[in-house]
């Protein structure tokens, strides 16, 4: 038996070499797990059900099941082709046996996992699609590769009180000597600042119109003039895509509205880590590259294939033309020029709001989610990665800095009582964001944000005289007036509903008939967050939900 295992390990090593991989992994068994040190994970399938069995022989079903779309599981024990799993049910958790194949194609009991020491932080995902992040692996972590699917590898990695099983991009793993586990580095160009030159005519380069520093500043072609508006910083991410930021504005190259249609405009926008701001560079020879958007698979393209100053740059399906090929020329920021690193007040407010909404943390110990309703049984679970300062209406006085002060690495070590853990609700979150501009802005409930108390003022021309109910205001003014008022919003303004279903959201972007908002709201298990970041809402939906537009009075 031992001889067979050695032969299997040798065959695996040969297969890796034949695939062009540098064998930096050691073939080993998985680490020991138990009820106190489980493997936390989701099923392989993203939907449907996996049914439970009463014993490891998988003969008798119990009637219980795992909901693949929502249920995070804990593998407590491995026995042949079965795994013992603790999974959530309506009134708590239950333990039963499930087929090992529901979680991994790897022989988890006797298989030869590939072990390595990670040398840089990488993002992990629930499944092999890169859609829902699940946490991260830190430099120095000992990791175990189980299997592959497309461009992703299934891995087991350490977390507080056990392990997690998730997926990482193949180019995200590396041995302790810094070489990629897939052989030579897959990074097409080194991080740095470049001019981006069109293959149509090398006199013309990417340029931000009028050297704008605003969100929505347009990306175009322009004759090379050496300004910072024509220089871009390329930063390679663990998912194999680049973030590209303009040297003059520090804004990221972005698909307008996150759209995917041919002809969608390319603009600059505050970096937000969305797929609309991730770009895959592929060499096409002779120093030229194509730029493919992660969010939609479309290419950066010179409109009409014409190189001239002012020609627009857009998204378009891949066609192999010169309009989609660009060279990168190393450059430096022009000294003495304005770097525009001081954000405007509105940008500072939005940046702070988004930072509160996306900070990663893991409870040191589990604690109960605060709620008015006894039916809300959500628990902030030790060892699970969450995103955004947690929701509460008791200790609703937590700034980003205060929350960061209670993190040891990413582990939250602050108060953990149901009514004492650190957090915010929708209104206290926007209040803290507004303090980045007005340090005296009070921590208010939604009622205090109503535009008659001197803290906020209305946006637009709606009439709210003698009214303190947003539904009554919308009814009095009608849809057309309210939609006109919504169109007057600017990033950093608010949308308020009060008192019925009281809520407030911060505007991050304004379109022709929609806004995007970031807000603290109900917990959503699929996001591991009580926040929504840059959520799109139409003017019609805002009116139907009876929101009114307001903003800080001191602006």
Which tens digit of pLDDT belongs to each residue from 497-535?
999 889 999 998 888 889 999 999 989 989 999 999 989
Task: Give the per-residue pLDDT at 381.
Answer: 94
Q: Helix (H, G, I), strand (E, B), or coil: what is residue 544? A: helix
Task: Give the per-residue pLDDT at 22.
Answer: 30
Kindly indicate the confidence band of residue 48, based on its pLDDT and cuts at 50, 70 and 90: very high
Q: What value does the mean pLDDT take over residues 40-44?
A: 95
Euclidean distance between CA atoms 41 and 181, whole angstroms: 23
Between residues 24 and 44, the one the model is more confident about: 44
Task: Give the per-residue pLDDT at 185.
Answer: 39
For 442, which DSSP code? -
| Total number of residues shown for the chain | 555
Q: Which neighbouring-strand residues pair with 315?
A: 300
| Cβ atoms of 117 and 140 closer than 8 Å | yes
Task: Give the per-residue pLDDT at 337.
Answer: 42
| Cβ atoms of 143 and 78 closer than 8 Å | no
Task: Give the per-residue pLDDT at 402.
Answer: 92
Q: What value does the mean pLDDT take over residues 238-244?
A: 90
Q: What value does the mean pLDDT take over residues 377-393?
A: 91
Task: Give the per-residue pLDDT at 27.
Answer: 56
Residue 19 burial class via C-beta count within 10 angstroms: exposed 0-12, middle 13-18, buried 19 and up = exposed
| Cβ atoms of 441 and 449 closer than 8 Å | no
| CA 402 from centre of chain | 22
H/E segment holding residue 373: none
Task: Give the per-residue pLDDT at 186.
Answer: 60
Task: Give the per-residue pLDDT at 172.
Answer: 59
Q: What value does the mean pLDDT take over residues 459-476?
A: 94
Residue 9 has pLDDT above 50, yes or no: no
Q: What value does the mean pLDDT take over residues 493-500?
A: 94
| Cβ atoms of 503 and 519 closer than 8 Å | yes
| Cβ atoms of 100 and 92 closer than 8 Å | no
The structure tokens 């990482």 sit at 168
Task: Give the per-residue pLDDT at 299.
Answer: 95
Task: Give the per-residue pLDDT at 285.
Answer: 84
Nearest residue to 159 (alpha-carbon basis) of 141, 139, 133, 140 = 141
Q: What value does the mean pLDDT take over residues 222-226?
A: 86
Q: pLDDT (tens digit, 9 = 90+) per residue, 109-133? A: 666 678 887 777 788 899 988 888 8
Share of the chain above pLDDT 70, in %: 88
CA torsion 246-249-255-257 (nearest 10°) is 170
Residue 24 has pLDDT above 60, yes or no: no
Task: Give the per-residue pLDDT at 495.
Answer: 97
Euclidean distance between CA atoms 156 and 144, whole angstroms: 5
Task: Give the per-residue pLDDT at 338.
Answer: 41
Task: Give the per-residue pLDDT at 4.
Answer: 41
Task: Give the per-residue pLDDT at 90.
Answer: 82
Euclidean distance between CA atoms 228 and 249, whole angstroms: 9
DSSP string, 403-428: HHTTEETTEE-S--STTTS--B-HHH
Task: Give the per-residue pLDDT at 375.
Answer: 63
Q: pLDDT (tens digit, 9 = 90+) per residue, 414-446? A: 999 989 999 999 999 999 999 988 888 999 999
Task: Give the per-residue pLDDT at 395.
Answer: 84
Kindly indicate the confidence band of residue 339, based on its pLDDT and cuts at 50, 70 and 90: very low
Q: Which neighbouring-strand residues pair with 195?
A: 329
Task: Give the per-residue pLDDT at 382.
Answer: 94
Task: Give the per-residue pLDDT at 344.
Answer: 62
**Which residue stretches of 243-359 are H helix?**
345-358
Residue 15 has pLDDT above 80, yes or no: no
Euclidean distance between CA atoms 9 and 13, whole angstroms: 6
Mean pLDDT, the chain, integer: 85
Q: What value does the mean pLDDT take over residues 460-482?
A: 94
Task: Give the per-residue pLDDT at 173.
Answer: 55
Q: pLDDT (tens digit, 9 = 90+) per residue, 143-191? A: 888 888 888 899 999 987 889 999 998 765 544 333 333 333 368 888 8
Kindly indicate the confidence band of residue 225, based on its pLDDT and cuts at 50, 70 and 90: confident
Task: Give the per-residue pLDDT at 14.
Answer: 36
Between residues 12 and 319, the one the model is more confident about: 319
Share of the chain above pLDDT 90, in %: 53
């Amino acid at each position: 038996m031992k001889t067979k295992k050695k032969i299997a390990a040798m065959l695996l090593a040969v297969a890796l070499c034949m695939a062009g991989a540098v064998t930096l992994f050691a073939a080993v068994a998985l680490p020991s797990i138990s009820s106190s040190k489980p493997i936390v994970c989701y099923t392989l399938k993203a939907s449907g059900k996996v049914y439970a069995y009463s014993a490891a022989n998988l003969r008798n079903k119990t009637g219980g099941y795992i909901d693949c779309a929502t249920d995070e599981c804990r593998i407590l024990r491995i026995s042949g082709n079965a795994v013992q799993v603790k999974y959530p049910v309506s009134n708590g958790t239950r333990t039963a046996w499930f087929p090992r194949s529901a979680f991994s194609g790897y022989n988890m009991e006797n298989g030869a996992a590939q072990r390595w020491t990670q040398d840089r932080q990488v993002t992990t995902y629930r499944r092999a699609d890169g859609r829902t992040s699940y946490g991260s692996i830190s430099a120095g972590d000992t990791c175990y590769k189980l299997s592959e699917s497309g461009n992703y590898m299934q891995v087991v990695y350490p977390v507080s009180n056990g392990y997690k099983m998730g997926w990482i991009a193949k180019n995200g793993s590396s041995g302790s000597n810094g070489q990629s586990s897939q052989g030579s580095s897959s990074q097409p160009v080194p991080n740095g600042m470049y001019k981006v030159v069109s293959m149509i005519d090398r006199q013309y380069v990417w340029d931000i119109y009028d050297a704008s520093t605003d969100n929505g500043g347009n990306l175009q072609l322009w004759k090379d003039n050496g300004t910072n508006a024509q220089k871009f910083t390329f930063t390679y991410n663990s998912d194999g895509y680049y973030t590209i930021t303009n040297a003059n504005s520090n804004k990221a190259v972005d698909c307008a509205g996150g759209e995917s249609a041919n002809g969608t405009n390319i603009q600059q926008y505050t970096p937000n880590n969305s797929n609309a701001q991730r770009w895959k560079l592929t060499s096409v020879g002779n120093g030229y590259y194509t730029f493919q958007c992660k969010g939609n698979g479309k290419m950066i393209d010179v409109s009409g294939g014409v190189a001239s100053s002012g020609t627009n740059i857009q998204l378009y399906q891949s066609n192999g033309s010169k309009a989609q090929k660009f060279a990168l020329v190393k450059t430096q920021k022009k000294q003495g020029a304005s770097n525009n690193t001081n954000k405007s007040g509105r940008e500072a407010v939005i940046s702070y709001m988004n930072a509160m909404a996306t900070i990663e943390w893991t409870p040191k110990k589990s604690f109960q989610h605060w709620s008015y309703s006894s039916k809300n049984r959500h628990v902030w679970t030790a060892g699970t990665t969450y995103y955004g300062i947690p929701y509460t209406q008791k200790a609703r006085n937590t700034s980003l800095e205060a929350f960061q002060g209670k993190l040891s690495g990413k582990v939250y070590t602050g108060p953990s009582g149901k009514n004492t853990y650190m957090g915010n609700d929708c209104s206290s979150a926007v209040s803290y964001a507004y303090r980045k501009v007005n340090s005296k802005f009070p921590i208010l409930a939604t009622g205090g944000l109503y535009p008659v108390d001197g803290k906020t003022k209305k946006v637009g021309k709606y009439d709210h005289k003698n009214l303190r109910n947003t539904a009554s205001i919308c009814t009095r003014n009608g849809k057309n007036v309210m939609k006109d008022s919504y169109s007057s919003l600017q990033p950093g303004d608010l949308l308020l509903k009060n008192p019925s279903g009281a809520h407030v959201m911060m505007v991050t972007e304004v379109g022709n008939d929609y806004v995007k908002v970031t807000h603290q709201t109900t917990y959503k298990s699929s996001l591991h967050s009580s926040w929504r970041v840059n959520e799109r809402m139409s003017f019609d939906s805002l009116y139907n939900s009876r929101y009114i537009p307001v903003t800080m009075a001191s602006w």
